[in-house]
């Protein structure tokens, strides 16, 4: 028999809207669609890169960074969880998304020695409005699960228009230009950096952050995201 609370606030799946058991975030059907599908891509041509290919074996050996994604944004369950996490502040959604990225990294079997986590920051005004930075939350989860140090060394110094509101890539690059700085005393870096964010779309935000980190002396950088939009 349903309780009055369940009648007034029915436990429904965050992805498809069907009933769930034990007030879980996803129904059993949607849970089955939530699995890691890791992909490593070149930041120049977006081509697939073998996970353990040497720099010389890559399509663009001089690419500033690589892009590692755990799943596809086209997956409706992943997309719904990202929306609930970012705009509804549902911590369980963030936990599930972080777990997907953790599983993907674990499945690939990276050697994590000399690796640090650097989350993409929000502008202070946006952070106050949202109440949290989704990239920081994902990085916190990975830091705990992978036993890696999180270094919040990037500052967002420009209050940009949300990239999701701009469709043209060139306009996105202009919008995000000069948006980041490295905190004084944070670099240079002598470790591999996993640059953390939730979604990779055009790559403009990641490219700008990578450029700033490289100018501060960073070495190898892999952009780590939950979902790839392209």
What integer pLDDT is reported at residue 6 of this predicted model? 52
Q: What is the mean pLDDT of the chain?
A: 91
Count of positions (residues) in the chain = 230
Q: How confident is the model at residue 54 (pLDDT cuts 50, 70, 90)?
A: very high
What integer pLDDT is reported at residue 7 of this predicted model? 47
Residue-wise pLDDT for 84-104, tens only, equals 999 899 999 999 999 999 999
- Strand residue runs (E) in the chain: 39-42, 66-72, 115-119, 149-150, 154-156, 180-182, 192-200, 221-228
In this structure, what token pair is assigned to residue 221?
């950088």
The model carries a pTM of 0.91
What integer pLDDT is reported at residue 4 of this predicted model? 47
Alpha helices in 20-118 (DSSP H): 28-32, 76-88, 91-108
| 55 Cβ contact list (under 8 Å, min separation 6) | 61
Residue-wise pLDDT for 26-44, tens only, equals 999 999 999 999 999 999 9
User: What are the C-alpha distances in Å from 162 to residues 167, 204, 224?
Assistant: 11, 12, 20
d(CA 72, CA 226): 8
- Strand residue runs (E) in 99-218: 115-119, 149-150, 154-156, 180-182, 192-200
């Amino acid at each position: 028999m349903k309780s009055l609370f369940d009648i007034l606030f029915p436990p429904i799946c965050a992805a498809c809207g069907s009933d769930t058991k034990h007030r879980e975030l996803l129904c059993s059907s949607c849970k089955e669609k939530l699995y890691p599908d890791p992909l490593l891509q070149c930041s120049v041509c977006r081509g697939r890169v073998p996970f353990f290919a040497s720099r010389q074996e890559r399509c663009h050996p001089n690419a500033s960074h690589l892009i590692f994604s755990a799943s596809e944004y086209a997956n409706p369950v992943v997309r719904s969880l990202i929306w609930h996490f970012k705009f509804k502040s549902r911590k369980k959604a963030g936990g599930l998304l972080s777990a997907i990225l953790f599983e993907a990294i674990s499945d690939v079997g990276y050697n994590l020695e000399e690796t640090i986590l650097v989350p993409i920051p929000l502008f202070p005004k946006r952070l106050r409005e949202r109440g949290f930075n989704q990239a920081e939350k994902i990085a916190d989860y990975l830091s705990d699960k992978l036993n890696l140090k999180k270094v919040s060394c990037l500052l967002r110094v420009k209050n940009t228009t949300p990239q999701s509101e701009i469709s043209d890539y060139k306009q996105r690059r202009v919008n995000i230009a000069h948006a980041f700085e490295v905190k004084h005393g944070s670099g240079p870096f002598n470790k591999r950096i996993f640059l953390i964010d939730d979604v990779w779309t055009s790559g403009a935000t990641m490219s700008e952050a990578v450029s700033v980190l490289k100018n501060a002396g960073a070495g190898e950088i892999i952009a780590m995201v939950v979902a790839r939009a392209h």
